[in-house]
């Protein structure tokens, strides 16, 4: 299997865009599990358990604060999926898109305790 670096393609002058592949997906999922384990250990977020109803749901919009090029949406979706399979992540733009301040980049919905 090719490494993510070997699948990179030039984009502009200062970086190379990595193409998504199964190996990169596995790496991101593994990292996300590690981040959550480091943050929560094998326990729950006790503040959320104490303050938020188990049945509460909600949604949020990820909004660009500045003009820029979008990057990392596939990784964000994988991290969301690792956090809670009941969450829905809907990117509204694509990696590589140039967005202006106020652009809704993605929407996230599901259990608030997540």
**What domain range is 18 assigned to?**
5-111
Domains held by the chain: number: 1
CB within 8 Å of 67: residues ≥ 6 apart: 98, 99, 100, 101
| pLDDT tier for residue 14 given thresholds of 50, 70 and 90 | low
Question: Residue 37: pLDDT above 70?
Answer: yes
pTM score over 0.75: no
pLDDT (tens digit, 9 = 90+) per residue, 63-112?
999 999 999 999 999 999 988 889 999 999 999 899 999 999 999 999 99
DSSP 75-100: HHHHHHHHH-TT-EEEESS-TT-EE-
């Amino acid at each position: 299997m090719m490494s993510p670096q070997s699948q990179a393609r030039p984009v502009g002058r200062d970086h190379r865009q990595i193409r998504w592949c199964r190996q990169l997906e596995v790496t991101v999922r593994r990292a996300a599990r590690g981040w959550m384990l480091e943050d929560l250990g094998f326990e729950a977020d006790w503040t959320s358990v104490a303050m938020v109803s188990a049945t509460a749901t909600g949604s949020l919009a990820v909004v660009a604060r500045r003009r820029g090029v979008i990057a990392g949406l596939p990784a964000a979706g994988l991290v969301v999926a690792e956090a809670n399979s009941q969450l829905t992540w809907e990117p509204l733009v694509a990696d590589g898109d140039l967005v202006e301040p106020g652009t809704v980049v993605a929407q996230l919905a599901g259990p608030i305790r997540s």
